[in-house]
Amino acid sequence: MSNDTGLRKAGAKVFVRGLQLDAEIGVYDHEYGRHQPLVVDVELDISPSAWDRLADTINYETIATKAKAVAAEGHFQLVEAFAEQLARACLADERVSRARVRIEKPTALAPVAAAAGAEIILVRG
């Protein structure tokens, strides 16, 4: 969409950062059957038309609900698998063209590191 200043909408992103949730995750014996804290960041590329109408954009709460649903699916061995599952869940919405999901496991290397994790980017098409 152009306006009289010659500007046009090139893209839009919706994001949730720092979502804290617990999940069963890890490859070690002591990680099975127990929940661990995760910090989840999600960034979604959507159509620039989403700037104009609330009904056309992605609700932040929907992103958080998808993350909680993935966590409830059961044990994940790798944060990469969790991130990919969440990215795929976000891309199930056709308005999303790209999903970037970053998962941090804050206790993985404590106390020598603040967090460890992975980031997955999936693009439609």
Q: Tens digit of pLDDT for each residue in 20-29? A: 999 999 999 9
Domains in the chain (CATH in brackets) are 12-123 (3.30.1130.10)
116 Cβ neighbours under 8 A, 6+ residues apart = 104, 105, 108, 109
Residue 4 has a pLDDT of: 65
What mean pLDDT is predicted for residues 3-20?
86
pLDDT in tens, 34-60: 999 999 999 999 977 766 777 778 999
Q: Do 120 and 84 contact (CB within 8 A), yes or no?
A: yes
Maximum CA extent, the chain: 63
Q: Rounded CA gap, 1 and 108, in Å?
A: 46
Per residue in 77-118, pLDDT (tens digit) is: 999 999 999 999 999 999 899 999 999 999 999 999 999 999
